């Protein structure tokens, strides 16, 4: 069965929009978790749910294209799903870093990261390179896109492996 790239893109965009809206809601729990720490636990649970939602969406996409899908087709769909969701949530990331977070939020976070890197005995060249970088809200939003695409590449592997398995028509008869 030949892959319909137009349908792949259209479906990835549609399902990615739904996943992106879920991520926006999930990120709100992180934002409000700074003032209400119990919300961080809900955020973490929602983060754990992301691969399961991606599995469900990939399975629905498989049905949309006729019930059969190859591993690489499912994997590409998963990566594109994460990409389009990352584009949606990056708007919220930018708004948070630009308008909601305190002005010193990024610098304080980077200083804490530098201390953690020094405590982990990371090479001084790496620490110097990071310390010379000027992190801005747009930089953080773009970095979030790249991070989410990377997670999509990794997490779509097991999802694609599960979704591309052959479906059995019914129970397997027992041998006697």
pLDDT (tens digit, 9 = 90+) per residue, 134-169? 889 999 999 999 999 999 999 999 999 999 986 655
Taking the C-alpha atoms of 149, 150, 152 and 155 in order, what is their torsion angle to the nearest 10 degrees?
Answer: -170
Dist. CA 141–CA 176, nearest whole Å: 61
Q: Give residue 169's pLDDT.
A: 54
Tens of pLDDT along 69-124?
A: 999 999 999 999 999 999 999 999 999 999 999 989 998 988 898 899 999 998 88
The pair phi, psi for residue 173, each rounded to 5°, is: -65, 145
First to last CA, the chain: 37
Measured between alpha carbons, how far is residue 59 from residues 2, 3, 55, 84, 111 in Å?
Answer: 18, 16, 6, 18, 42
Q: Give residue 129's pLDDT.
A: 86
For the chain, the helix, strand and coil percentages under 3-state DSSP, each to the nearest 5: 80, 0, 20
Burial of 124 (C-beta count, 10 Å sphere; 0-12/13-18/19+): exposed
Tell me what the pLDDT averaged over the chain comes to: 91
- Give which of 58, 1, 48 is closest to 22, Cα–Cα: 48
What is the value of pTM for the model shown? 0.87
Q: Which of the 8 DSSP states describes residue 67?
A: S
């Amino acid at each position: 069965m030949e892959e319909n790239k137009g349908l792949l893109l259209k479906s990835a965009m549609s399902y990615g929009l739904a996943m992106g809206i879920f991520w926006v809601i999930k990120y709100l729990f992180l934002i409000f978790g700074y003032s209400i720490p119990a919300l961080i636990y809900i955020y973490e649970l929602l983060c754990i749910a992301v691969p399961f939602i991606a599995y469900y969406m990939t399975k629905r996409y498989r049905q949309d294209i006729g019930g059969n899908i190859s591993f690489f087709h499912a994997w590409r769909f998963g990566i594109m799903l994460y990409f389009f969701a990352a584009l949606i949530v990056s708007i919220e990331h930018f708004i948070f870093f630009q308008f909601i977070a305190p002005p010193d939020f990024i610098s304080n976070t980077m200083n804490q990261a530098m201390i953690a890197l020094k405590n982990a005995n990371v090479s001084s060249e790496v620490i110097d390179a990071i310390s010379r970088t000027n992190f801005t809200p747009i930089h953080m939003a773009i970095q979030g896109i790249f991070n989410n695409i990377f997670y999509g590449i990794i997490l779509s592997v097991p999802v694609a492996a599960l979704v591309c398995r052959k479906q059995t028509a019914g129970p397997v008869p027992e041998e006697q």
